[in-house]
Amino acid sequence: MKVLFASSEIYPYAKTGGLADVSEALPSALKRHVDVSRVMPLYGFMDKKKFKLHDAFSVKIVKNEYEIEIFRQSKGGIVNYFVKAPLLSDTENLYGNKDGDYVDNDSRFAIFCKAVVELSKRLSVETIHLNDWQTALVAFFVKESALDIKTVLTIHNLAYQGVFAYETLSKLGIDEKYFNIDAFEFYGKANFLKAGVAYSNAVTTVSPTYAKEILTHEFGCGLEGFLAHHKDKIGGILNGVNAKLYDPSSDKSIEFAYDASSVEIKRENKVAFIKNSTLKDPRKPLFAMVSRLVEQKGIDLIMESLEETLAKKINLFILGDGSQKVCDRLSELSQKYDNFEFREGFSDALSRQTYAAADFFLMPSVFEPCGLSQFIAMRYGATPIVHGVGGLKDSVFEEENGLGRGIVYSNQNKEEFLGAIDRALELKKNSLKFKELIKSNMQRDFSFESSALAYLEIYKGLQCLKKN
């Protein structure tokens, strides 16, 4: 079986978030079971000279012919294809800049989706695995063209749906008959993700709990009724991480390598981390957060609880980027307290050093389709403190028979969050129990192997339908 994995970002070529990590790790696990390749845009900041020209063709949208060049590179035993196209490849960023999303994202990703369909035909692909709204139109184009190709759409975050003006449909040559509640129509606008759900053969989310949550008003982002109508083809498969990529025993970014059998060395990373920070006392428990500083990730609750949290004689370190208002306030508080440091921006090396140093890792997300940071934290021996929603609920448990061990609170309010901090501090006082928890987490399998097998069953099931 030939599978083409289509994504708007793949690590290490382009990354804005967890989608890139999943797009690297899941196909890497799938390759042991199925013939899988990947395809993504070739953005303006990427050097095409690093890749080999594979193919060239044109795609037509209304009266416009767009010349497409397909480049390729094999990496880690997988062939990666890169789509170079007008509009799509003319930008220095993926989706937008400081002024907001690019105004022609509808055309950019429609061209990409058209190119993916044509590439799939030329590769004799049997299944295309789509990811989020940027690739969702592939399912529509496949269906409209009556191609004998199955499509699987994975929703990584329902909050991002690719919603554009009604006029987008005519601009892309999509018949007005598809502007209805069963396809593109969404409160008078055109919704790419909605159409992807409508026309895909199977839909997955990145955790079982999130698959249920998106059918509710609280988490459905306006699509809950439509998704409930399609619930028979929706299921949740828990994400994982690339265990080789995130391994404290071989991570070159951290100062002292360690594993579950030498977990005491983790403290040396903490001491070195504190020494290179504005924090003062390495004996204090170190709580850390590495995240986009947006409402979804619980930054409002962090801000509301910050001064009471810092009063608990802990060290707190936050690495991330968000609105200028949030960053300015965190910087102000960082200067006020000697047990709090905020670093604006993102650094892969610093984030890994943070995981290696932290005693506890904060994930107070309002909602979380899956999350990857909790897996990375546990790999590095940092105990996660999470709001029990979505994939966090599926992967972190306070009881001993769960997948991973941590601190879980149920309701998103200051009282429960501070209570979780208190439970963490009590846990750390029991050094033997705390060490055993860390060792247990570090030895857990958070890889994509089981997820890959679940996706393989979906692919096989769709091919069986095809034969029947």
Residue pLDDT, tens place only, 59-74: 999 999 999 999 999 9
Residues in the chain: 468
Region 47-54: mean pLDDT is 96
CB neighbour class for 86 (10 Å; exposed up to 12, middle 13-18, buried from 19) = middle
Q: Which pLDDT score is estimated for 211?
A: 98
pLDDT digits (tens, 9 = 90+) for 457-468: 999 999 887 655
The conformational region for residue 183 under phi > 0 = left, psi -120 to 50 = alpha, else beta, is: alpha
Q: For residue 98, what pLDDT band results from cuts at 50, 70 and 90?
A: confident
Averaged pLDDT score across all residues of the chain: 96
Is the peptide bond prior to 12 cis by the omega test (within 30 degrees of 0)? yes
pLDDT digits (tens, 9 = 90+) for 351-399: 999 999 999 999 999 999 999 999 999 999 999 999 999 999 999 999 8
Q: For residue 403, what pLDDT band results from cuts at 50, 70 and 90?
A: confident
Q: Give me the residues paired with residue 69 across strands.
A: 56, 84
Domains and CATH numbers, the chain: 2-239+449-467 (3.40.50.2000), 260-443 (3.40.50.2000)
Least confident of 3-7, 240-244, 253-257, 283-287: 240-244
Two structure tokens written together for 137: 């139109």
Q: Which pLDDT score is estimated for 466?
A: 62
Region 29-47: mean pLDDT is 97
Q: Which pLDDT score is estimated for 189?
A: 98
3-state helix, strand, coil in the chain (%, to 5): 40, 20, 35
Q: Which pLDDT score is estimated for 439?
A: 97
Residue (of 225, 407, 424) closest to 309 by Cα position: 424
Could you tell me where the DSSP H helices lie in 232-345?
266-275, 299-310, 324-336
Edge-to-edge strands of the sheet including 150-155? 52-61, 64-75, 78-84, 35-41, 2-6, 127-131, 150-155, 202-205, 234-236
Q: For residue 332, what pLDDT band results from cuts at 50, 70 and 90?
A: very high
> Residue 231, Cβ neighbours under 10 Å: how many?
13
E strand segments, 7-63? 35-41, 52-61
Q: For residue 409, what pLDDT band results from cuts at 50, 70 and 90?
A: very high
Q: Which pLDDT score is estimated for 99?
A: 86
Q: Which pLDDT score is estimated for 464?
A: 85
Residue type for 434, please? F
| Dist. CA 25–CA 28, nearest whole Å | 5
User: Who's near 229: CB < 8 A, 6+ residues apart?
Assistant: none
Phi and psi of 278, rounded to 5°?
-90, 0
Region 437-460: mean pLDDT is 96
Q: Which pLDDT score is estimated for 165?
A: 98
Predicted model pTM: 0.95
